[in-house]
Structures are given as C-alpha cells and as structure tokens.
Amino acid sequence: MIDPKLLELLACPRCESRPPVELNGDLLVCTECQYAYRIEDGIPDMLPESAIPPDEWKREANSSHA
C-alpha cells in the first residue's frame, strides 16, 4: 500500500512541528492533530486542504466496522 521508506519520511503538513504520520487502515494519520490523509493509487495526498478531520474519518471507520 505504501513504501515503508516513504512512511519514515512523511510528516503532517498541517502541524508546524511536522510530526510523523502513522498508517491506520487505508489512511495516514497525524500523530498529533489526528487529521488523516488518503493514499490514492499508491500516492499519499498530503495537501493540507485534503486532510480529513478526526471525527469524520473515525465516524466513517466505525460505520464501516458496524
């Protein structure tokens, strides 16, 4: 799904401290602000405006597991 070397380099563009992101299902989730980024065709979409708010992606994740 995502190259492990890339995962080691990626950081959240919304947060000034550029904290790492973690793989959570199909999403990359910021370890600080908890906003999530999609991976489209193997390419992470790390535009700040593409970030999904935590309540939104967690709600979607919960409903898909229900």
Partner 1 sequence: MNHTTAGAAHNRPVERAEDTWGGAAEAYLKSSVHGDEAALSRIVDLLKPSGGAYLDVAAGAGHCSYAIAPFVDVVVACDSSPGMLRLIHREASNLGLHNLITTRGTADRIPFRSGAFDGVVCRTAAHHFTDVQRFLAEAFRVLKAGQKALVIDNVGNEDPDTDRRVHELETLRDPTHVRCHTAKEWKRLARRAGFWIDFEDVVSKPINAVEWLNRLNVEEPRRSEALFMIEDASGWFREHLRPHGSGDLLTFHLNELTLLLSKP
Q: How far is the CB of 62 from partner 1 (least distance, A)?
A: 26
By beta-carbon proximity to partner 1, the closer residue of 39 and 61 is 39
By beta-carbon proximity to partner 1, the closer residue of 6 and 24 is 6
Q: Is 51 exposed, middle or buried (0-12, 13-18, 19+ CB in 10 A)?
A: buried
Question: Rule CB under 8 A: is residue 27 a binding residue for partner 1?
Answer: no
- Pairing type for strands 27-30 and 36-40 reads antiparallel
Rg (CA), the chain: 11
Q: Which residues bind partner 1 (CB under 8 A)?
A: 3, 5-6, 9-14, 18, 20, 40-50
